[in-house]
Structure 1
């Protein structure tokens, strides 16, 4: 939360640190698409008020989170390269402050939402105010690990080869969390990574069940790293297949890699090697985040086509399928007026795009053409994603782990 960031700055002043620089990555993805100034303006005012008695705190650089720095799963290291040149080397379009930067970039890039805004550097008299130098301390202010790992590697790895860093400042680098417990990255951190044990992947592995996991790069970690409790490596009996994502804006290719993921899943099903298979179609989330309504409808149509092919292969294999989502996104592409519940409008009369996740309940669909209607699912007051592990175990003929929430499977 931004209050944590404020507390860090306040404590830095109390500890006698003379200069603090914030490198701000704009969201517009999990918050309204052009809400950056709602955060930047009051935050710069907070920093200005705090900057007294020899203490100087300012935003030094930034850009959209989908444009610089915050790549994940090795999808597009060029984003991290650009971020390094902006934050560390101070290279980029210069502005007097972050408010002026956001306003200026919006003027020169009309229609661009916050997550896609280009980089900016804050400068005084042509000199960047916040390059990162030898002896500095760098705190990566992010609790979630997937988009923190690559820039952390750039700061910590001596033999780093993903891009030319030009120079590697000797800094004390720390994360709010240790983002990868297996890789021990970063070495310094505030909060230890959660010890997540007895996941579905681990439990099934111990039972000798062969498992197949597949997605494209943009969601590959969701069916592997996150699925297995923030674990980088596979459990015994797991096979992972990654389909490389296209490096283009998602609204320009909303079908993404749904067809190729389906190809891989169908081939794995036909191989007869696996008792349980999982995949993630990224379209609804990644295209939903763009706020582009037409692209989102195409994205969902692409997933519909993919599911039709995949479910036919499930039938041919004599299997069943569970279809669900971890949250909503493309289900609500416009912001809703809180009073009327109608789509909210911009000043020009256009609908205000919604780029954030929705809070709507997600479905859990049991696809079953083998039991003759003997299998079903029950709805409970607390039914949610945590019930899927036990439900899957029961479908496979196994008991759930004692620590898991109950199964939703019913039989007639």
Structure 2
């Protein structure tokens, strides 16, 4: 069950992004494809536009003016009229150009009186040729692209009703800890659960679907049993808490029970040191097991650092290239460790929030992301990598 033990942040991130293959492809409607990742290139099924169209509201004219108005091009239909020299038809933006048209003159550039239209227009003006935007079989978007609403609109315009996307990773979440309570004010040594309300939402934004989430007491046999119930229907198991080596830390024994292959066993970063990533083989499938620390800020730091690239690998998505930011105040790290500091950026300048402890959420609640601070002393003006929340 050996893996990378106390590797650097960069080493662990690389392993998280490269250790699992993309999931299977599925066909979904365009409406359901928003924020999903393409499993294959999307090609245009037709020229776009599919025919010559008008770029303006006005008149389709033939030759030089004045022109005799002989009718109107119906929106969304091909006109049976053939324009001859000195004739015109009223036309709306996007209307199909009738045969014989030499130009389209806009309303504001001409005068209509007594069935005659007068004005001046250059030959070929305001006519969009067929295929001006794309030709049939042009690549509109490549595999691995995240589908935005405008992109779904483009696919529709190019003739698609449905497209092929990568399946969303199905996740089972287990929140561990006898000390956790789930409502009211904590008293008598209890701790109010702060991860339950946020982790499912973060994972959905990362592209996952939540199959189940539950709170499990600190009991190895119970944890083993509950994990086993989920393995047939998930691609990723996530736990919070219990990742260290103390007498009440049961994640490593649970991984041993699963005969899991350890990939990451702690990372030299604060917060987020006690993070684990393992591979579970189950019925000819490989399931990822990501164990996050129990402290709220540590859990978020580990999830954005290593969970996000893991999920992107499942989705066949390109990995983020982290931007560089300039820190506005000196920051130090524990010896030999990187540090993840929550904060905000403005014009590529990073300012840390207050309340930076690994068990604290007040600072990270007002942050835009984490700055990845290099080991050692980093003076104001030094650069850091930026891990954005969105």
Which TM class, normalised by the smaller chain length? under 0.3
Question: What is the TM-score normalised by the length of structure 1?
Answer: 0.21
The structure where strand makes up a greater share of residues is 2
Task: Please state which structure has a larger fraction of its residues in helix.
Answer: 1
Larger CA Rg, structure 1 vs 2:
2
